[in-house]
């Protein structure tokens, strides 16, 4: 079920050290501004140094984006909502995601902060390279672009109403994940994997609450 403690203002303090605390916050424009040049360079390298054809790059890039959607679902379900009695795991889960459920209006923690994001991205690139080898120079940028779209969608859901009618179920899925049951509705950028793994909301049983949804929006 949803968490009992939800704050409509302010933000969680994750670290006592003010410098560490500062590194837990970021702005979406900073993340986009850093990653787009990096991903563009990696794609450029894939074509000019690795000598992958444009058609192959496009295919791998799209494949990386699609792969991200599964990664997003699994990470949200099994890491961000990791259920454990271990104190350290509880703390890690809270730092990664639990604080967002308690402070859903905190706009500074909807994107992973830059420094840990770059460290994690580098680690994931290395792991994926062991599988895809040189093809990863085209695959991984698609994966990371999928992340940027996911984080931006998450930000948008908390910022404004869905701009198009077809996006309403996506907004509803994440909003109900907050105020109805945090163990359902793990998809943020899409609901495909929720349908595959049967973690969607049944709106006949889980009624929408416009007031609760409004409380999730930025002030």
In this predicted model, what pLDDT tens digit does every residue of 33-45 receive, in sequence order?
999 999 999 999 9
Tell me: pLDDT of 4 over 70.
no
Radius of gyration of the chain (CA): 18
3-state secondary structure of 196: helix
CB 27 within 8 A of CB 108: yes
Residue (of 136, 120, 92, 91) closest to 31 by Cα position: 120
Residue that the structure tokens 């420094």 belong to = 115
| pLDDT attached to residue 9 | 76
Residues 49-69: what's their mean pLDDT? 98
Measured in degrees and rounded to the nearest 5, phi and psi for residue 206 equal -105, 95
Reading the block at residue 153, the tokens are 């969608």
Q: For residues 102 and 209, what is the distance between their CA atoms, to the nearest angstrom?
A: 18
Specify the higher pLDDT residue, 1 or 208.
Answer: 208
Q: For residues 134 and 45, what is the distance between their CA atoms, to the nearest angstrom?
A: 10
**Residue 82: Cβ within 10 Å count:** 15
pLDDT in tens, 88-132: 998 999 998 989 999 999 999 999 999 999 999 999 999 999 999
pLDDT in tens, 140-186: 999 999 999 999 999 999 999 999 999 999 999 999 999 999 999 99
| pLDDT attached to residue 3 | 55
- Arithmetic mean of pLDDT over the chain: 93
Q: For residues 32 and 27, what is the distance between their CA atoms, to the nearest angstrom?
A: 9
Task: Give the torsion through C-alpha atoms of 81, 86, 91, 96, to 10 deg.
Answer: -30
CB 72 within 8 A of CB 150: yes
């Amino acid at each position: 079920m949803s968490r009992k403690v939800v704050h409509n203002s302010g933000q969680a303090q994750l670290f006592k050290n003010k410098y560490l605390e500062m590194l837990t916050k970021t702005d979406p424009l900073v993340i986009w501004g850093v990653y787009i040049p990096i991903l563009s360079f990696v794609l450029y390298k894939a074509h000019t140094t690795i000598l992958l054809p444009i058609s192959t790059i496009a295919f791998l890039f799209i494949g990386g984006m699609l792969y991200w959607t599964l990664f997003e679902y699994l990470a949200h379900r099994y890491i961000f909502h990791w259920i454990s009695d271990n104190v350290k795991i509880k703390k890690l889960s809270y730092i990664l995601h639990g604080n967002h459920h308690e402070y859903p209006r905190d706009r500074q923690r909807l994107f992973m902060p830059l420094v840990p994001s770059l460290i994690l991205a580098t680690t994931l690139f290395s792991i994926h390279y062991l599988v895809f080898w040189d093809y990863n120079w085209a695959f991984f940028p698609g994966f990371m672009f999928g992340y940027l779209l996911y984080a931006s969608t998450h930000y948008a859901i908390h910022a404004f109403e869905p701009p198009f009618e077809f996006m309403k179920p996506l907004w509803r899925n994440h909003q109900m994940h907050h105020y109805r049951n945090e163990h359902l509705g793990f998809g943020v950028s899409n609901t495909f994997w929720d349908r595959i793994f049967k973690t969607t909301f049944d709106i006949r049983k889980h009624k929408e609450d416009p007031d609760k949804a409004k409380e999730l929006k930025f002030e």
